[in-house]
Amino acid sequence: EIVLTQSPGTLSLSPGERATLSCRASQSVSSSYLAWYQQKGGQAPRLLIYGVSSRATGIPDRFSGSGSGTDFTLTISRLEPEDFAVYYCQQFASSPMYTFGQGTKLEIK
């Protein structure tokens, strides 16, 4: 089973700043199989990025994804107040099996 480790656990930033969230896999992940989600309190997760770098429908272009192999990054170019939430990465393996990272909490500084 591929384990995803997200860092940092908590990121404290101010609106307008740039956020960089990391997701590291224990084995290489195919580029088609890495996604990112945003979850706000009491709500279901929302798909932000799929296939490493493709934005889901309706996602603003301040969200971008990058990476390959075992190291992936979600970047929020300029934080808006509504962006403060928990973010999860997720991968697919051919077993089939889907696993999620433990999450990064993005909080207002």
Partner 1 sequence: QVQLQESGPGLVKPSETLSLRCTVSGGSISSYYWSWIRQPPGKGLEWIGHIYHSGSTSYNPSLKSRVTISVDTSKNQFSLNLSSVTAQDTAVYYCARHGHGSGAFSFELWGPGTLVTVSS
Q: Using CB under 8 A as the criterion, which residues of the chain lie in contact with partner 1 when the complex forms?
A: 1, 32-33, 35, 37, 43-47, 50-51, 54, 56, 88, 90, 92, 95-103
Kindly tell me which of 45 and 83 has the beta carbon lying closer to partner 1. 45
Q: Identify whether the C-beta of residue 106 lies closer than 8 Å to the C-beta of residue 19.
A: yes
Residue 18 CB, shortest distance to partner 1, in Å, is 24
Kindly tell me which of 1 and 61 has the beta carbon lying closer to partner 1. 1
